[in-house]
Amino acid sequence: MKELYETLKRRGVREGIKRSWRNLYPQVDENLRNYPFLKDYVEELKSVKEEILKNLDYWIDKAVGNAERTGANVHLARNSEDARKIVREIVGSGKLVVKAKSMVSEELHVRECLEGAGNEVWETDLGEFIMQLKGEKPMHMVIPALHLSVSEVSEVLSKVGIKGKDAEELARGVREFMRRKFLEADYGISGCNAFSVSTSRIFLIENEGNVRLVTSLPKEYIALIGIEKLLPDDETALKQVLLQAAYFGTFPPTYLNTIRPKEGRRTHFIFVDNGRTSADYLREQLKCIRCGRCQLECPVYRLTGSAWGGDVYGGPMGIVFSEITGGIGEEVYLCLNCGKCKEVCPMNIDIPSLIAKIRKRKLAKRVGG
């Protein structure tokens, strides 16, 4: 809660969120206007995801079995400790690791774990790289450094010798700094936006090109796959990533990467459970496509950024995801229950009702009910 009060004093957080909302909100409307098929995709995806969630264990077994047949090294991490142990054993120490932005990796604290084991680890997404150097968690799932001004970013990047007076110069400096890392990296680590169970293809969208380089250049590749990302086939996976981009506000995505194990390169698929299969009464949250809309629209998040919403994800979806993956604290009671998050969610996840259930359970425990 201390972090929350400190954040309330930071004007940049409120301004950054407002600016992002102003930039992205009209874009979402425009995307839906220009591409009416997106609404059909939503309806289809909702029912597909509902079916998968009814029988998640079956789909996990199928995903693991199929992936093993492709020649990937397949692991199933039951919890975050498991996942960190697997990654640590694969990478060892003294290696150069480049990472693509991944919320599941934030959830598991993979970077910190690998750094602790004596590896050089770099976040390669511009915003995430800035937050790594600043030593703070991302302020938003998709726009991690939305709250920082150019001069603040400039100060942060100067820690690694990158100089510049505007966004263009700073970005150029980061490009030059990171290019050598991409080319020399031993390991590339990414998350997964959608996973096609039938073909074992990982689908990843992006605009910067860092995901493309992280997942293609290093000698070994590790994919962290949250099990809520499982979808039956390529076309459903493609629809999900297109929706994610459209409802975030950038469509079409600049890059779509599909990745399968490749001969001559060791590939590791780590399927991550970490509370998801036992999500029980919160299972509906696993339909989330991570567009981040509920965050930018939430009146509480507008003041606090991801200082509210748990240790990792932030905002309304963050409250529920945090409860699923590790537990949420007293901040669950700060939700205004205004219902905006449900209204803007493309999957119509009833986040207010999920938050109400968490509250009820917490109170029942406290009073011994």
Partner 1 sequence: MSLLEKFLEALERNSVKYIVTSDPEGEAKRYGRFFEGGVREERSIISYAESAAADTGIIFFSGEDLRASSALAEVHVAIVKKDSITPDTLSAFRLAIEKSGGRDVFSTSNASNSADIEGKRVWGMHGPKEFLVVVGT
By CB under 8 A, tell whether 126 contacts partner 1: yes
Encode 196-223: b = buried (16+ Cβ within 10 Å), e = exposed. Answer: bbeebbbbbbbebebbbbbbebbebbbb
Region of 3-11, 71-79, 234-242, 340-348 interacting with partner 1 (CB under 8 A):
234-242
Question: What track of x and - describes contact with partner 1 for positions 175 through 194 (by CB under 8 A)?
Answer: x--xx--xx-----------
Q: How many residues bind partner 1 (CB under 8 A)?
A: 57
Structure token digits, residue 158: 């100067």
By CB atoms closer than 10 A (0-12, 13-18, 19+), residue 23 is middle
**Residue selected from 48, 217, 303, 356 as contacting partner 1 according to rule CB under 8 A:** 217
- Rounded CA separation 222/95 (Å): 14
By CB under 8 A, tell whether 90 contacts partner 1: no
| Helices 11-34/234-248 angle, 10° precision | 130
**15-54 positions binding partner 1, by CB under 8 A:** 16, 19-20, 23, 34-35, 37
By CB under 8 A, tell whether 146 contacts partner 1: yes
By CB under 8 A, tell whether 136 contacts partner 1: no
In the chain, how many H helices and how many E strands?
Answer: 17, 10
Contacts of 298 (CB under 8 A, 6+ apart): 315, 316, 340, 341
Region of 88-96, 106-114, 206-214, 337-345 interacting with partner 1 (CB under 8 A):
206-214
Please state the closest distance from residue 167 (CB atom) to partner 1, in A. Answer: 4
Question: What track of x and - describes contact with partner 1 for positions 243 through 262 (by CB under 8 A)?
Answer: --------xxxxxxxxxx-x
By CB under 8 A, tell whether 4 contacts partner 1: no
By CB under 8 A, tell whether 122 contacts partner 1: no
| Helices 167-184/150-157 angle, 10° precision | 30
Give the 3-state secondary structure of residue 262: coil
- Rounded CA separation 204/257 (Å): 5
- Rounded CA separation 298/309 (Å): 11
Please state the closest distance from residue 67 (CB atom) to partner 1, in A. Answer: 15
Region of 73-81, 172-180, 269-277, 351-359 interacting with partner 1 (CB under 8 A):
172-180
* Site residues, partner 1 (CB under 8 A): 16, 19-20, 23, 34-35, 37, 124-127, 130, 143-146, 148-150, 153, 166-168, 170-172, 174-175, 178-179, 182-183, 201, 207-210, 212-213, 216-217, 234-235, 238-239, 242, 251-260, 262
